[in-house]
Structure 1
Amino acid sequence: MTRDISPPPLKRRKLVPQDSENKTQSLRVFSWNINGVDAFLPPTTSKITTFFKPTSPATGRVSPPQTKRVTVTNSLRAFLSRHSWPEVLFLQELKIKQGDAKTVASLLTTLNTPLSTSDELSDERTYTLDTVLPRDKYNVRGFQGKLYGVGAILRKDFARNHVARTREVDWDLEGRVNIVELKQGTEQDRPLALINIYAVNGTSSPYRSPATGKVVGTRHDHKIAFHSRLRDECLALEAQGYNVVVAGDLNIARGVLDGHPNLRTYPTQHCLNRADFNTKFFGEEDNERAQAYVTTNNEKKACFDAVDIFRALHGAERRYTYHPRTAHWGSSCDRVDLILVSKRLWDEGRILGTGILDSPQERGPSDHVPLWVELKGPE
């Protein structure tokens, strides 16, 4: 630990959860780092022997290959069905290469393929898909470019009635950000901007200029810059009149409550990254509530002043979203997937609930688990 990092304050303010009996229409946003889309898609190839069937003794003709209904073990549509067809599902770490339209189409097909004869397709049960895939030729080179990538899955009736546009940002070339801007609701309600995030993981590996390929720092440096750009995007949206919701894998455990059995503090750069994130995105009240590490020097940084709604609603409860597959479940884990909202959205009482879905049924094949928020939606 360095002198730039202060220990988290011990004092926490207890918050009263929002009224859950509100009668207005709600909007549910789910978020999940799926650690690669392939596990959620049907097999694309069959054994070659399936195409050569024995001849029929009666006719001497070659029997045609038998067509079988392909099932997906890890079904995103089944996930959506279990949760009563939410309006929004954000996915991170798709691991789809830029230009791979076939895999994107396959994902969309699986989302809208009925689970059974009773699964009737309608605009209330079918979805659109918008992806942002990496396009940085110097920093996305491993695994043949099958890295990163985010996708916004929107229920069709919701998209038609309430979504103004979905977009990417020009400062993200690694497939880490897409934004869903909603239409203006009533005059009293500010429109919502929903940001799907797969934040940079800080490491000592080199980061290269996307323009020249020259090494210009480390992935730690890139992470710090990513924090600034994301904060500035949030502040710009607020300045345009939006209330902002950020959901996804932020690749940060904010404080001692968010790591088990211990919070990662070595090498020291992880502490600096953590303090930088908490300082740029949260005010004193929220950092106090989260027992978060912040910078203590005199550097002035613009702040989004968001609310980490899991901590706001669940206090010091220890729940985690990242469980590495190399360790026994629950033995080593972190809360690095977060949902942040504009403070004025929280102050307006529009957050109805939030949770982390870490049951055996919901864990799926990823090393991350889903999380969700419900808020008062557009009228």
Structure 2
Amino acid sequence: MTGAVSPPPLKRRKLAAEIPAPPATKASVTVDLYSWNVNGIGPFIHRSIKSFFKSTTKPQSSSDATSPSLRDFLRSHSWPTFLFLQEVKTRADDTQTRRAVQRAVSRQAGEAEGTPDYVAHFTLPKDPHNTRGFGGKVYGVCSIVRKDFSEKYVERVRDVAWDQEGRFSVIETKAVGDVPKMAIYNVYMVNGTNNPYKDASIGEVKGTRHDRKLAVHALLAAECRKLVSERYEVIVAGDINIARAPLDSHPNLRTSPQQHVSNRQDFERRFIARPACKAPAGDDQPPPDDVPPSRMIGLGMVDVFRNLHPSTKAYSYYPRGRPFGSSCDRVDMIMCTPSLAASCTAASILATPGDRGPSDHVPIQASFAFEGVEIAGDG
């Protein structure tokens, strides 16, 4: 008699706790920042009358092909995170222009689903004594931020208490994953001249625009230092109104009158120099003038273009009324705190005919790459 066959053992069900969760991954995050002194926002939101008379058959010249559309600029540069504009020349009470800019950067009818949207933040002149030129349409900055980044990272956008000329806007972000907490400045620094600077409250002359430039250096450096003490990484981007070294000017670095040399020294001392007098890694350019080591007490910020391109001749300002390239300076910069410099993967100056636009400045750009935010694997 054949023995009974035992049934196969029951399979033990794996408990959910025993099933390993898929590993978490990290999504990379790239912050692309463009900055441009546009020398007036008007051409970017109002269609030129010449465009109504262009022939449909005549080939366009390189200047005709340059589009001043803000939306086109954002699209052609792959929808950057930020576009900082300086010298927008808009009055504080001009709500119509602000609305027009917001429309110009917003998602347009007919664009594909998921095309990025943007929000525009203005900082405009409120000083009644130093911003009266052109009916108050002087200075002013606009910070254009991609909406998806703003909603996830931006905590607030603010002005600074010590400036009423509409020169400074600050975007403060929160830390998310490996993306650090940042304070990102859109700046239009003072141009040093012998013109009078007046007290913003009472209109009394308090010195020259050179004096005001040095005061602004001190005020901005002190605010940046405070933010660093609060564990912010700091980026300063915009028109600095300083050419740092002979490499940054063609045909010559401006050294007359002497006050321009003093302004340059002060900028280097406060922002670029390190307490130990060491140059940032990869930046082999010495200070442009002879600053005594005892005065090297700066923030140690890194000029990202010069850090990545230590010997490249490239310029961002081309005065009008002269042949293009015959006289030019690199006065527009993006600087960051030293620990953030390692995340800077690219920096460029966009001086091609297609990028120049209607301004006497050309755009500049920098990219910062971070590993980003942990994303749990699919279970």
TM-score range, shorter chain: 0.7 to 0.9
Select the structure of larger CA radius of gyration. 2
Q: Which amino acid letter does the alignment assign opposite residue 357 of structure 1? A: L
Q: Does 1:86 align with 2:80?
A: yes
The residue aligned with 1:364 is 357
Query: Is the CA contact (8 Å cut-off) linking 2:187 and 2:238 kept in structure 1?
Result: yes
Q: Does 1:219 align with 2:209?
A: yes
Q: Could you tell me how far 1:189 is from its partner in structure 2?
A: 5.0
Structure 1 segment 1-379 matched on structure 2, within 5 A = 24-43=28-47, 73-112=67-106, 114=108, 117=110, 119-120=111-112, 122=114, 124-186=115-177, 190-283=180-273, 284-286=277-279, 289-294=284-289, 296-297=291-292, 300=295, 302-346=297-341, 349-377=342-370, 378-379=372-373
Q: Which amino acid letter does the alignment assign opposite residue 43 of structure 2? A: A
Q: Which amino acid letter does the alignment assign opposite residue 369 of structure 1? A: V
Query: Is the CA contact (8 Å cut-off) linking 1:139 and 1:207 kept in structure 2?
Result: yes
CA–CA separation in structure 1 for the residues paired with 2:318 and 2:244: 16
CA–CA separation in structure 2 for the residues paired with 1:359 and 1:257: 20
Q: Which amino acid letter does the alignment assign opposite residue 241 of structure 1? A: R
Q: Which amino acid letter does the alignment assign opposite residue 278 of structure 1? A: E
The residue aligned with 1:56 is none
How high is the TM-score relative to the length of structure 1?
A: 0.82
| SS class of match (1:269) | helix
After superposition, the C-alpha distances for 1:153-208 in whole angstroms (9 at most, x for unaligned) are 0111111111111111100110010011111122x653111110100000000001
Q: Which amino acid letter does the alignment assign opposite residue 121 of structure 2? A: D
After superposition, the C-alpha distances for 1:114-143 in whole angstroms (9 at most, x for unaligned) are 3x84x2364x52110100001110111110
| SS class of match (1:90) | strand
The verdict on how the C-alpha distance between 1:220 and 1:371 changes in structure 2, with shifts beyond 3 A counting, is same
| SS class of match (2:265) | helix
Query: Is the CA contact (8 Å cut-off) linking 2:162 and 2:219 kept in structure 1?
Result: yes
CA–CA separation in structure 2 for the residues paired with 1:33 and 1:351: 22
Q: Which amino acid letter does the alignment assign opposite residue 265 of structure 1? A: T
How high is the TM-score relative to the length of structure 2?
A: 0.82
Q: Could you tell me how far 1:285 is from its partner in structure 2?
A: 3.6
Range 72-81 or range 260-269, more displaced: 72-81
The verdict on how the C-alpha distance between 1:92 and 1:126 changes in structure 2, with shifts beyond 3 A counting, is same
The verdict on how the C-alpha distance between 1:44 and 1:262 changes in structure 2, with shifts beyond 3 A counting, is closer
After superposition, the C-alpha distances for 1:310-347 in whole angstroms (9 at most, x for unaligned) are 1110011100000011110110000000010101112x
CA–CA separation in structure 2 for the residues paired with 1:277 and 1:177: 17
Query: Is the CA contact (8 Å cut-off) linking 1:279 and 1:295 kept in structure 2?
Result: no
Range 295-304 or range 144-153, more displaced: 295-304
Query: Is the CA contact (8 Å cut-off) linking 2:344 and 2:367 kept in structure 1?
Result: yes
CA–CA separation in structure 2 for the residues paired with 1:290 and 1:213: 41
| SS class of match (1:286) | coil
Query: Is the CA contact (8 Å cut-off) linking 1:112 and 1:121 kept in structure 2?
Result: no
CA–CA separation in structure 1 for the residues paired with 2:123 and 2:85: 11
Query: Is the CA contact (8 Å cut-off) linking 2:170 and 2:185 kept in structure 1?
Result: yes
Query: Is the CA contact (8 Å cut-off) linking 1:251 and 1:336 kept in structure 2?
Result: yes
Q: Which consecutive unaligned segments of at least 5 residues does structure 1 have? A: 1-21, 46-71
Q: Which amino acid letter does the alignment assign opposite residue 373 of structure 1? A: A
Q: How many residues align?
A: 328
Q: Could you tell me how far 1:298 is from its partner in structure 2?
A: 7.5
| SS class of match (1:279) | helix
**Aligned-pair Cα RMSD in Å:** 2.3
CA–CA separation in structure 2 for the residues paired with 1:166 and 1:246: 14
CA–CA separation in structure 1 for the residues paired with 2:227 and 2:139: 24
| SS class of match (1:244) | strand
Q: Could you tell me how far 1:293 is from its partner in structure 2?
A: 2.4
Q: Which consecutive unaligned segments of at least 5 residues does structure 2 have? A: 1-25, 50-65, 374-379
CA–CA separation in structure 2 for the residues paired with 1:193 and 1:334: 27
The verdict on how the C-alpha distance between 1:168 and 1:105 changes in structure 2, with shifts beyond 3 A counting, is same
